[in-house]
C-alpha cells in the first residue's frame, strides 16, 4: 500500500494524477528591444552618420542658397585678344601715321577718279577749285581711305611707286540691278531736275546717273558710277611719321583744311594737350566742329592724355 503525500507535499518522486489535465503554460515572451541608435553629436559629427530627410530639411537656408548659387553661376568666357600682326621692318604697318601720294583709276577704262596731284587732276580733267592737293595723312587701318586700299597698305615700302589692285566688292561694290529704276519724266521735272543722259545729280538725297530719257520715262541709276569695276591705285608713301609733335601737326592739318598747321602752337603735358589757335581763323567757318574733331583724334591716338585744351590769344594791335 502506497503512502499518499500529505497536503503541501513536494516530493518530486510523487506524481499527481490531477496534473495531467492542466494545460502546459508557455513561458512569457519578452519583446526584443531594438538597439538604440544614438544621434551623432552636433559638436563632433561623424563622416559615416546617415542624413535623414528631417535632418536634410532642417539644413540652414543659407547653405542651400549658396549651393544653388554655385551651380547656377555662369561660366565667364575668356576674353579673346585680337592677334597682333608682326611688324614689317622698313615698310608700312597697321597704325602707322603716313603721308601718301596716290592716284586712283578704273582698270577697264583708265578713268582717273581720285588724285592728290594737282597736275594730274588738271591733266585728266578732274581738277576742282577749292580742293586741297598734296600728300594726304592716313592712319593705316582707320578707314580714312577706300576700304580695299586701306587693307592693302601694310607692307608698302616708303618712296616706291606701288600699284595696288582692288576688286569691285572692296572698292565701290558690285552693281545692283534693283538700283536702276524707271521714273516718270514729269516727276523729275516737278523736283526741278532736268534729266539729260549721262548727267550725275542728286535725287531725293541720293546720288544718281541718268542713263536714258524717252517716252515720258527716265532710266535712273543709283549705283555708284564705278560699281562693278576693278580699281587700281598708284601709291607712293612719302613719309612714315614717328615724332609725336609731327603727328599732332598732321592731325591739325587734316581737320583745319587749307590752314598752315605750322601756325598752331602746341604744348603737351603728361595728361593734358594744349593747342593754340592762330587769330586768323578765330571766326572761320565750322571752327568748333574742327576743334571737336581734332580733340577726339588727339585723345584716340594718344591714350596717355586725358584732356585737350584750345587757347585763343588776342594780342594788342
Ranges assigned E (strand) in the chain: 97-106, 112-115, 136-139, 162-166, 180-184, 200-203, 206-214, 217-221, 231-241, 265-268, 272-277, 307-312
3-state secondary structure of 226: coil
Residues near 275 by Cβ (< 8 Å), separated by ≥ 6?
248, 252, 264, 265, 266, 294, 308, 309, 310, 311
Average pLDDT over residues 12-17: 43
Q: How confident is the model at residue 238 (pLDDT cuts 50, 70, 90)?
A: very high
Residues of the chain with pLDDT > 90, as a percent, come to: 62
Q: What cell numbers appear for 282 in the block?
A: 578765330
At 27-57, the pLDDT tens digits run 555 555 555 555 444 444 444 444 444 454 4
Nearest partner of 227 among 268, 167, 308, judged by Cα: 167
Report d(CA 198, CA 219) in Å as an integer: 11
**By mean pLDDT, which of 91-95, 203-207, 289-293 is the weakest?**
203-207
Report d(CA 302, CA 273) in Å as an integer: 10
Q: What is the DSSP letter of 231?
A: E
Report d(CA 63, CA 59) in Å as an integer: 7
Q: Residue by residue, what is the 3-state secondary structure of 256-305?
A: CCCCCHHHCEEEECCCEEEEEECHHHCCCCCHHHHHHHHHHHHHHHCCCC
The CATH number of domain 89-174+226-242 is 3.10.50.40? yes
Instruction: Name the class of domain 177-221.
Output: mainly beta
Phi, psi of 153 (to 5 degrees): -80, -25
pTM score over 0.75: no
At 261-270, the pLDDT tens digits run 999 999 999 9
> For the chain, which residues make up each domain, given as ranges?
89-174+226-242, 177-221, 243-317
Q: How confident is the model at residue 316 (pLDDT cuts 50, 70, 90)?
A: confident
The CATH number of domain 243-317 is 3.30.70.2210? yes
Q: What cell numbers appear for 21 in the block?
A: 489535465
Q: What cell numbers appear for 288 in the block?
A: 568748333
Of 104 and 10, the one with more pLDDT: 104
At 61-102, the pLDDT tens digits run 444 444 454 555 566 666 676 677 899 999 999 999 999 999
Amino acid at each position: 500500500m502506497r503512502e499518499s503525500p500529505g497536503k503541501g507535499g513536494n516530493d518530486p518522486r510523487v506524481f499527481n494524477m490531477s496534473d495531467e489535465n492542466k494545460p502546459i503554460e508557455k513561458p512569457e515572451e519578452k519583446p526584443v528591444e531594438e538597439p538604440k541608435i544614438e544621434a551623432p553629436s552636433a559638436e563632433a559629427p561623424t563622416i559615416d552618420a546617415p542624413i535623414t530627410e528631417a535632418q536634410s530639411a532642417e539644413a540652414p537656408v543659407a547653405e542651400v542658397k549658396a549651393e544653388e548659387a554655385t551651380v547656377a553661376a555662369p561660366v565667364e568666357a575668356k576674353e579673346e585678344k585680337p592677334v597682333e600682326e608682326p611688324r614689317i621692318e622698313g615698310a608700312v604697318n597697321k597704325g602707322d601715321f603716313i603721308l601718301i601720294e596716290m592716284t586712283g583709276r578704273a582698270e577697264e577704262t583708265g578713268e582717273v577718279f581720285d588724285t592728290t596731284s594737282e597736275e594730274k587732276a588738271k591733266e585728266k580733267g578732274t581738277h576742282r577749285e577749292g580742293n586741297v592737293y598734296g600728300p594726304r595723312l592716313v592712319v593705316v587701318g582707320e578707314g580714312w581711305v577706300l576700304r580695299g586700299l586701306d587693307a592693302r597698305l601694310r607692307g608698302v615700302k616708303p618712296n616706291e611707286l606701288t600699284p595696288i589692285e582692288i576688286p569691285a566688292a572692296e572698292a565701290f561694290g558690285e552693281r545692283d540691278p534693283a538700283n536702276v529704276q524707271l521714273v516718270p519724266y514729269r516727276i523729275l521735272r516737278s523736283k526741278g531736275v532736268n534729266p539729260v543722259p549721262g548727267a550725275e545729280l542728286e535725287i531725293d538725297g541720293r546720288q544718281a546717273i541718268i542713263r536714258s530719257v524717252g517716252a515720258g520715262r527716265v532710266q535712273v541709276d543709283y549705283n555708284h558710277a564705278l560699281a562693278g569695276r576693278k580699281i587700281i591705285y598708284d601709291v607712293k608713301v612719302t613719309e612714315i611719321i614717328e615724332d609725336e609733335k609731327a603727328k599732332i601737326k598732321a592731325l591739325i592739318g587734316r581737320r583745319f583744311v587749307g590752314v598752315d598747321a605750322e601756325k598752331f602752337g602746341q604744348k603737351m603735358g603728361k595728361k593734358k594737350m594744349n593747342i593754340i589757335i592762330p587769330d586768323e581763323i578765330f571766326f572761320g567757318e565750322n571752327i568748333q566742329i574742327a576743334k571737336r574733331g581734332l580733340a577726339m583724334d588727339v585723345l584716340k591716338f594718344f591714350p596717355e592724355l586725358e584732356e585737350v585744351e584750345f587757347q585763343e590769344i588776342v594780342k594788342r594791335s
